[in-house]
Amino acid sequence: MTHDTSDISGADAHGIDLSSSDFATRAIHAGQAFDPTTGSVVPPVYLTSTFVQDGIGGFRGGYEYARSANPTRDSLQELLAALEGGSHAYSFASGLAAEDTLLRAVLKPGDHVVMGNDVYGGTHRLVNRVFVPWGVTLSTVEMTDLDAVRAEVAATSAAVLWVETPSNPMMKISDIAALAEIGHAAGALVVVDNTFASPYLQQPLSLGADVVVHSTTKYLGGHSDVVGGALVVNDAELAEKIGFLQFGVGAISGPMDAWLTVRGIKTLAVRVERHSTNALTIAESLEGHPALEAVHYPGLASHPGHALAARQMRSFGGMISLQFAAGPAAARAFAESTTLFQLAESLGGVESLIGYPTEMTHASVRGTALEVPENLVRLSVGIEGVDDLLADLRGALAALDS
Ligand SMILES: *Cc1c(COP(=O)(O)O)cnc(C)c1O
């Protein structure tokens, strides 16, 4: 039995109607009714695998066994649906588990997937190394070139158009509303990986997308302490298919992970505001530095996607990539010499991180159309004091000359 989480009307259990509330209010209250037994302001973590039945089939609140549903997971799912403007959300053990479940729900052998030519490396690897051997076909396209996308989805009768914006790590911006129209005209399901923006900055369902994918590991969790993923949809039939596979395949998020993710999401609005202002300050300050061939940040007027990002996003987020004029050795030396920016994969946490995608996050796409420039370094700008972050980056730039 799958637990029905379809009643995500915005009216919360403690009687607050959140349907017209501000994002920051929903982030704190949706799915977060206080515990009715004790009044505990924070809903408890339901660390249980199963639920006592009042006689055979007598389920309390519909709960039977924790793979099918757990109240803590429901709380996260309700919150995610409220933030993305979806009717249903499902949470998973990782972003890739969410993607895998979605693709199993909507693809069959012989179907074709079109994705951007700089999507997250693991997404490409999942389709290319897992689904392609099962008879799915894959092609990549420049997602910012709408004519190219239109031609590709028509030529391949694509079943899925997979969009990621801003993209990773090139920070390209693609037009979700236009791509939704193009995908739908060709009969494709339009999926947007909203990990980099988070629902605070953009809500793809409202722009016409069919499915939002998240690695909640990143901005949603926000504290680099939990791995997770999610799918959000606005269609009952699609929700039913995903819900069945969440239960039937079982790549669920555990209650502690779901609870930590909810806890992180409460501060999403303030965190992403600060990530964005810090990143804009840094991008503006580094642009034009003689050691840098390019600073990729959609908040810069020089960025080719700037006008579109200004329309489509609330602000420009915390991710920047830098290309070094002196080549790969300079990029590597820089990535290894910052101190506040710690050398690690992942992104979206309160602490700043630096990565060398070619050999880290994007090692799996070397030699494919998704290959990342070898002189590129990616910054996940945290919410520390921006002067400290700038001093760290400037110090590492100065060290390149010595
Ligand atoms: C990290 C990431 C994923 C994969 O999520 P995991 O939680 O690591 O499985 C997917 N898409 C994007 C854009 C990511 O950054």
What is the DSSP secondary-structure string of 235-252? -HHHHHHHHHHHHHH--B
Q: How far apart are CA 192 and CA 126, in angstroms?
A: 16
The pTM (predicted TM-score) of the whole model is 0.95
* Alpha carbon separation from 400 to 30, 88, 198, 326, 360 (Å, rounded): 48, 50, 34, 10, 21
Instruction: Using pLDDT thresholds of 50, 70 and 90, give the confidence band for residue 94.
Output: very high
Ligand 1 pocket: which of 191, 215, 252, 378 to mutate (most atoms <8 Å of CB)?
A: 215
Q: Which atom of ligand 1 is nearest the CA belonging to 96? A: 9
For this structure, is 274 an active site residue? no
pLDDT for the residue 7: 40
Burial class (CB in 10 A: 0-12, 13-18, 19+), 326: middle
Instruction: Using pLDDT thresholds of 50, 70 and 90, give the confidence band for residue 76.
Output: very high
- Is the pLDDT at 16 greater than 80? The verdict is no
N residues, the chain: 402
- Is the pLDDT at 52 greater than 90? The verdict is yes
- Is the pLDDT at 5 greater than 80? The verdict is no
* Tens of pLDDT, residues 174-219: 999 999 999 999 999 999 999 999 999 999 999 999 999 999 999 9
Ligand 1: does its nearest atom lie under 6 Å from the Cβ of 279? no
For this structure, is 266 an active site residue? no
pLDDT for the residue 14: 58
Q: How far apart are CA 375 and CA 207, in angstroms?
A: 34
Q: How far apart are CA 164 and CA 378, in angstroms?
A: 16
- Is the pLDDT at 397 greater than 90? The verdict is yes
Domains and CATH numbers, the chain: 23-265 (3.40.640.10), 268-400 (3.90.1150.10)
**Ligand 1, atom 4: closest residue by C-alpha:** 95
pLDDT for the residue 19: 83
Kindly give the distance from the C-alpha atom of residue 5 to the centroid of ligand 1, in angstroms, as a whole number: 25
Which residue is catalytic, options 218, 274, 314, 378? 218
Which residue is catalytic, options 193, 210, 257, 392? 193
- Sort residue 179 into left (φ over 0), alpha (ψ -120 to 50) or beta: alpha
Burial class (CB in 10 A: 0-12, 13-18, 19+), 313: buried
* Tens of pLDDT, residues 228-238: 999 999 999 99
Which residue is catalytic, options 46, 63, 120, 297? 120
